Amino acid sequence: MAVFEKISRLFGTDGVRGKPPRYPLDKKTLNHLGYWAGKILLKHYAQRFPTVLLGSDTRSTAHFLKQEFSRGLRGLPGLKIIDAGIIPTAAVSYLVKEKKFLFGVVISASHNPAEENGIKLISPNGQKLPEKIEREIEKNIGRPVPELQFCEPPVFAGKNFASQYRDFLLSTVERDIGWEKLSLILDAANGAAFQLGREIFQNLGVNLSVVNDKPDGKNINKNCGALCPENLSTRCRRRKSYGLTLDGDADRAIILDEQGKIYDGDYLLYLAANYLKKHRQLVKNTVVTTIMANGGFLAAMKKAKIRVWTTAVGDRWVAEGLKKTGAILGGEQSGHIIFRRFLPTGDGLLTALQIFQIILKEKSSLARLTRKMKKYPQKIFNIRVKKKIPIEEIPVLKKEIARIEKSLKDRGRLVVRYSGTENLLRIMVEAKNVAMLDEIGRRLAVIAERELNI
């Protein structure tokens, strides 16, 4: 199916993204974004402490974004700004909710390349801002703001807040289940968890090795982390160790077993759902996932008699689905998993702790605990585009999508959608006949490249 969605002017599915100092991450837009975000959130959440918490990943442009966004906030008298330093997105989510701050700001482009960056706004409940409020902020960008000259730097409290988040994560698992028996290679993606990840697993006594934990501002996500888990496969096989790969802001996790096999979010969600159901902890007997979930996962959930609620792509929509259904577990194939009992947003470190705890408590292995889930052949084609023209406005592409869907019938699935964080058209093809994957994907890719890159 083609996902027909409104192409946002400023906010995407995960905040504002771009290449600083170009629009929308230029100085003026950042100033306005900071001012209007602060003003509008003060109106909506007047009962909260007038304090904004900022955090960032390891990109070299983080200081520029933090400074110019803060300059906008300084146009609002009485607003206090605290800088948590380099810290995962989920840490800001936890701290904003725990400390009753007005809102949180994460300077990160998550899994995107180092030259890109972004602004994520976190609401008082620890989730992404409601779309309605994002639109309200967006409509005000460009309107007159006070003269913004002096910018006093935020109060730095990095180590204190990072340690509070670390202690929270450690409180979510049991200690005496044999963590010392776990051998693990952690790929920190030269990102936000390059220190915290090491601290957490060392605290538990895990036999730990860490790679890609030397950020230089330009190497975040570069041929490492959750986008390249295959790079860890050989090391896992040689050391007979599990592998954990995070992304730049550590909100997603992809895990490898001792044989180097890669387990994405579908597998992790399957494992967690079955464990919680077995122990009568799967609230509403429901799991929330997205339209990109593999057909094999859906079939396995049906066989396990677990209900599946499907949403649009993006952990914000998974979070909304959890709220609507009252369920406590949801996630995406990409590795964003939400354990709502602990946090209302995806967290790669929390996900890893919960998954490894299950493995240790069950005295089993990742392979064995997921053996009943058989993935269907699936392939995703990413086509870089100059402009995100709505798919329904491209007749030749829309017609070809309809033709392919009709030919597939019950033999497969097709999802065509724009990325909410990059200038990419994503084509997901799933079919029982492997040969069909490349044929369909390449045919659509040729049309998309021709029509969208004129």
**What confidence tens digit (pLDDT) does each residue in 50-100 have?**
999 999 999 999 999 999 999 999 999 889 999 999 999 999 999 999 999
DSSP code of residue 432: S
Q: Is 110 a catalytic residue?
A: yes
Backbone angles phi, psi at 311, to 5 degrees: -125, 180
- Please give the mean pLDDT across all residues of the chain: 93
Produce one character per residue of 288-301: b if its CB has 16 or more CB atoms within 10 Å, e if not. Answer: bbbbbbbbbbbebb
Catalytic one of 110, 123, 334, 419: 110
Percent of the chain with pLDDT over 70: 96
Fold that domain 378-452 belongs to in CATH: TATA-Binding Protein (3.30.310)
Q: Mean pLDDT across the stretch 158-182?
A: 94
User: What top-level class would CATH report for the domain 264-369?
Assistant: alpha beta
* Residue 431: per-residue pLDDT: 84
**Which CATH number applies to 16-164?**
3.40.120.10
Query: Where in the chain is CATH 3.30.310.50?
Result: 378-452
One CATH from 2.40.30.40, 2.60.40.420, 3.40.120.10, 1.20.1260.10 for 167-262: 3.40.120.10
* Residue 149: per-residue pLDDT: 65
Percent of the chain with pLDDT over 90: 80
Answer whether 0.85 is exceeded by the pTM: yes
Query: Where in the chain is CATH 3.40.120.10?
Result: 16-164, 167-262, 264-369
> Which among 66, 68, 80 is positioned nearest to 108, based on CA atoms?
66
Q: What is the pLDDT of residues 8-53, one digit of tens each?
A: 479 988 899 999 999 999 999 999 999 999 999 999 998 889 999 9
Residue with tokens 């402490």: 49
DSSP 317-363: HHHHHHHHH--SEEE-TTS-EEETTT-SS--HHHHHHHHHHHHHHTT
What region does 17 belong to: left with phi over 0, alpha with psi -120 to 50, or beta?
beta
* Residue 291: per-residue pLDDT: 92
Cα dist from 349 to 5, 132, 208, 276, 317, whole Å: 31, 30, 14, 19, 21
DSSP code of residue 128: B
Q: Is 352 in contact with 255 (CB distance < 8 Å)?
A: yes
Q: Is 212 helix (H, G, I), strand (E, B) or coil?
A: coil
For the CA atoms of the chain, what is the radius of gyration? 22
